[in-house]
Structure 1
Amino acid sequence: MTFQELPKVELHLHHEGAAPPELIKQLAFEKKVDLSGIFTDDGGYAFQNFTHFLQVYEAATSVLQTPEDFARLTTAILENSSAQGVVYCETFLSPDFCGGADVSAWREYLAAIQEAADQAESAHGIVMRGIVTPIRHFGPERAKAAALCAAETAGDWIVGLGMGGDETQGHQGDFAYAFDMAREAGLRLTTHAGEFGGPQSVWEAVNDLRVERIGHGVRAVEDPKLVQELIARQITLEVCPGSNVALGLYPAITAHPIATLRDAGVNVTVSTDDPPFFHTSLTQEYENLAQAFAWGADDFRVLNKTAANAAFCDEKTRERVLKKLETN
């Protein structure tokens, strides 16, 4: 069996960040929006560093303006993911990009996204669930509006809250109100930390927001006490190796700490983050890790079982996913 054929679970995928450049170009053409300067000569996204990446990301998402646009995006994402062997994925959705974090407009966008996801599940067997995502550099007040959207639509499809954006802006605890609102609505919690913010941001996420998963989290390796805390609390890391290398966090995949964290006993999973931006796919991530750390199919089966058990879906869905993982 090839790595592409191996059934996979992905927990860290940004909906807008997974937009194929071809779709964004087509939408820009249809809407007469000038996106010159955000693409490379070979058609990919062009950025120089993390700050520039955020700017290009927001420019690209500016053409996603209607529920129908997001339905088309959802279809494209799930076709691509299914082709990589993904059987279950959780996607980060930002109400700020879906109706300006207005609950009524958000419901319309969400209905279109969910309908497209249901159609993809029928066509390809892939299951998607949504995690509402406040944008950190938009500030705590905007996060409250996003969290309200999450709380008002919490259920079988919207299963969590997870903050993205510029990790260097403010502190995790500044967003405690939004996370408390989501928690009270029964949503599960994750947040980006331990990427550019260092180990301290992971401590803040664990202690101030009381999350059960961490987006990235790899800088935790720099603090042995923190590593032990993650193990003790059974907090799962949503690791995106290709993203970390592409954004300059590590010089090469061989320098990435995922193997060190896994061998220490931390629950680690593998995801793509924003795959078109980083010229990657989940299959490519597996192949790179296999080459760097001599991991084989059995190693990835364990990682995928870890991911399935850390997923925010209901238990019936989890059982279905685990059964799919056992088929190969």
Structure 2
Amino acid sequence: MEPRDVRSLPKAHLHLHFTGSMRHGTLLELAERDGIVLPDALVHEWPPQLSAADEKGWFRFQRLYDVARSVLRTEDDVRRLVLEAAEDDARDGGGWLEIQVDPSGYAARFGGITAFTDLVLDAVRSASAATGVGMAVVIAANRTRHPLDARTLARLAAQYADRGVVGFGLSNDERRGETSEFAAAFAIAERAGLMLAPHGGELRGPDHVWTCLDTLHADRLGHGVRAAEDPALLDRIVREGVALEVCPVSNVALGVYSDLTSVPVPTLLEAGATVALGADDPLLFGSRLAGQYATMRAAHDLTDEQLAELARMSVRASRAPSDVRARILSGIDGWLSESMGP
């Protein structure tokens, strides 16, 4: 029997950045509306050729991201982005989406971090109702800014705990700043009962993952894929139930691995780690949620059973309500039984 389409496999999406979720067509349309001149890398060379092997490469990536953010000018733009992200996930089999956003990056244009957070959460509620995809927000601090800014965002996230915000993260180039200096911000989020999900173990190796676990008390790791290089670390991750938000296509695009067959998903799975595949920034990497499953199936000859277990792990690692979890897990069982035939 032919392998089933991974787009029909129910799943959760735990690693998707706000601006990076934008459709390429939407970027072009909004830029044209306001006369914003986009670099060729976002127009004629899309998806752009990226590498984060050095600081210059990351700067280029960040510059493209900032340009994309600049096209969001109105409340309707924000609502459109959120709705389209939910629609894209629904088309890819997503039943739950945790979208990550740094409100400080949009505060100046939308009336401050609180007003922008209110707008995003309202957009999330509307998009969820329209698409049937359960949604929540992870507020993320930027590690290239001062740790005091991160505390402000952690307090903001804490205010919205149980009101649509489920987690607190730390993003941007993990080679920048001192991770331990953000511990106070993560302590604020931890006291509020939020899930803690800093980026770690992609651009830096296992040493940084140890730091994220020891000083930030990570529940999940944004990426975390390079934990595969340290068996002792991987044992700890498995023992403590820390989930890894692995984004294979972006790993290769940024030069972390030379090709998709080198992304060590089988090593992580064989060790017993919880792996939740994510799309990271589809606008810049050109691949959405189902694409991560399809590429890993092709690169590592994953069976339908293994794909179904990856989907289950994404659900178990999520902060989805129990009824949403149960519905998606039941759908995964149904997908698998259909793929196996009578």
Q: Does residue 164 of structure 1 match 2:167?
A: no
Corresponding residue SS for 1:311: coil
Please state if 1:85 is matched with 2:93: yes
Report which stretch shifted further, 313-322 or 126-135: 313-322
- 1:24 corresponds to: 27
Give 1:120 deviation, angstroms.
Answer: 3.0
| Structure 2 Cα separation of the partners of residues 90 and 36 of structure 1 | 29
- The answer to which structure, 1 or 2, has the higher relative contact order (CA under 8 A, 6+ apart) is 2
Q: Percent identity?
A: 31
What CA distance in whole angstroms lies between the structure 2 residues aligned with 1:41 and 1:107? 37
Rounded to whole Å, the distance in 1 between the matches of 2:332 and 2:117 is: 28
Displacement of 1:85 after TM fit?
A: 1.2
Mean Cα displacement is larger for which, 238-247 or 304-313? 304-313
1:72-102 deviations in Å (ceiling 9; x for gaps): 1101111111111111111111111231599
Counterpart of 1:64 (choices 67, 72, 83) is 72
Residue 198 of structure 2 contacts residue 221 of structure 2 at CA under 8 Å; is this kept in 1? yes
Query: For residue 193 of structure 1, what is the amino acid of its counterpart?
Result: G
Amino acid at match of 2:274: N
Letter paired with 1:263: E
Structure-2 residue corresponding to 1:220: 227
Q: CA offset at residue 312 of structure 1?
A: 2.1
Q: 1:115 aligns with which of 110, 116, 122?
A: 122
Residue 322 (structure 2) aligned to one of 315, 318, 322: 315
Bigger CA drift: 35-44 or 169-178?
35-44
> The residue matched to 1:211 in structure 2 has which SS?
coil
- State the secondary structure of the residue aligned to 2:144: helix
Q: How many residues align?
A: 327
Measured against aligned partners, the alpha-carbon deviations of 1:104-152 in whole angstroms (never above 9, x if no partner) come to 7334333333333333333332111110011111231221222222122
TM-score, normalised on structure 1?
0.92
- Distance, in Å, in 2 between the alignment partners of 1:36 and 1:222 is 37
The aligned counterpart of 1:53 is 61
**Matched AA of 1:11:** L
Separation (CA, whole Å) in 2 of partners of 1:284 and 1:273:
12
- CA change 1:101–1:213 in 2 (3 A) is farther
Partner of 2:310: 303
- The one-letter amino acid paired with 1:79 is E
Contact 1:253 1:292 in 2 (8 A): yes
Retained in 1: the 8 A contact 2:276–2:317?
A: no
Distance 1:257 1:28, change over 3 A: same
Alignment partner for residue 293 of structure 2, among 286, 289, 309? 286
Deviation at 1:63, TM superposition (A): 2.1
1:234 maps to 2:237: no
Aligned pair 1:276/2:283, yes or no? yes
For residue 135 of structure 1, what is the aligned residue in structure 2? Answer: 142
Give yes or no for contact 2:104–2:112 (8 Å, CA) kept in 1: no
Q: Gaps (5+ residues) in structure 1?
A: none
- How far apart, CA to CA, are the structure 2 residues paired with 1:76 and 1:291? 27
TM-aligned CA deviation for residue 45 of structure 1: 4.3
Deviates more, 1:30-39 or 1:122-131: 30-39
> Structure 1 255/46 Cα, relative in aligned 2: closer, same or farther at 3 Å?
closer
CA distance in 1, matches of 2:59, 2:205: 16
Tell me the secondary structure at the aligned position of residue 196 of structure 1.
Answer: coil
TM-score, scaled relative to structure 2: 0.89
SS of 1:41 mapped into structure 2? coil
Superposed CA RMSD in Å reads: 2.1
Q: 1:113 to 1:234 in 2, by over 3 A?
A: same
Q: Offset at 1:167? A: 0.4
Answering whether residue 83 of structure 2 is matched by residue 106 of structure 1, we say: no
List gaps (5 residues or longer) in structure 2.
52-56, 336-342
Q: How much does 1:316 deviate?
A: 4.1
Measure, in 2, the Cα distance between the counterparts of 1:6 and 1:75: 21
